[in-house]
Amino acid sequence: AQSVTQPDIHITVSEGASLELRCNYSYGATPYLFWYVQSPGQGLQLLLKYFSGDTLVQGIKGFEAEFKRSQSSFNLRKPSVHWSDAAEYFCAVAASGGSYIPTFGRGTSLIVHP
Amino acid sequence: NAGVTQTPKFQVLKTGQSMTLQCAQDMNHEYMSWYRQDPGMGLRLIHYSVGAGITDQGEVPNGYNVSRSTTEDFPLRLLSAAPSQTSVYFCASSYLAGGTDTQYFGPGTRLTVL
């Protein structure tokens, strides 16, 4: 079974600074990978996903993520953070063969200082 | 196009009471899922459905029942509420299996069991 780890519970950055949120997965083959964002009091919204092809994936709101097979990672990045990016971010992984049920990480809370 | 709707938004129950959380989607998605979100635990899958008349258990199914009589609706039933079921519940839908496609989430139901 697949698993996913988000090592950072909280990340604090200043507005305008760059951001990287870490995600590590465990799965024998190439997984399906997702990043979702949850604003306070809201449901989750997809930022981006990776299934195959180019390992650098562009998403909405200026986010990108890079799939690194050798490191089993799918880190989320943004070059310049806005105050509206303050939210909870979830990485999810699904097996590319099997039931395709996604497993979510525990989330990283992003705090943005003005 | 309302997307995924959930009712109620908030609910307080006493131990032993039963209730149904409603979920509906208007996107003609075959796949629907129920998750619970607890602090520090991320999202955990309770039950899911791959189409009308077909449901299956997720990671934490105990104490919950589901049915899928139509494509649009996927209610979650708590048979005898327990304090351990205090959580935020999210319904999600997708055109393809949740691990291979974008999942669309409802706004959530915050349930407190006293």
pLDDT digits (tens, 9 = 90+) for A38-85: 998 888 999 999 988 899 999 999 999 999 999 999 999 999 999 999
Please indicate whether, in this complex, the C-beta atoms of B4 and A101 are within 8 angstroms of each other. Answer: no
* B109 CB neighbour count, 10 Å cutoff: 22
* Residue A3 in this model has a pLDDT that exceeds 80: yes
Identify the residue among A48, A101, A103, A108 best suited for mutation to test binding to B, counting B beta carbons within 10 A and taking the highest: A101
Please indicate whether, in this complex, the C-beta atoms of A102 and B98 are within 8 angstroms of each other. Answer: yes
Task: Tell me the pLDDT tens digit for each residue of B33-92.
Answer: 999 999 888 899 999 999 999 999 999 999 999 999 999 999 999 999 999 999 999 999
A-chain residues within 8 Å CB-CB of B48?
A: 101
Task: Tell me the pLDDT tens digit for each residue of A76-106.
Answer: 999 999 999 999 999 999 877 666 678 999 9
Q: What's the pLDDT at A99?
A: 63
Q: What's the pLDDT at A58?
A: 97
Return contacts of B74-77, CB within 8 angstroms, 24+ apart. Answer: B74/B23, B74/B24, B74/B25, B74/B32, B74/B34, B74/B49, B75/B20, B75/B21, B75/B22, B75/B23, B76/B20, B76/B21, B76/B23, B76/B34, B76/B46, B76/B47, B77/B18, B77/B19, B77/B20, B77/B21
Q: What does the DSSP 8-state code read for residue B73?
A: B
Q: What's the pLDDT at A94?
A: 87
Q: What's the pLDDT at B93?
A: 94
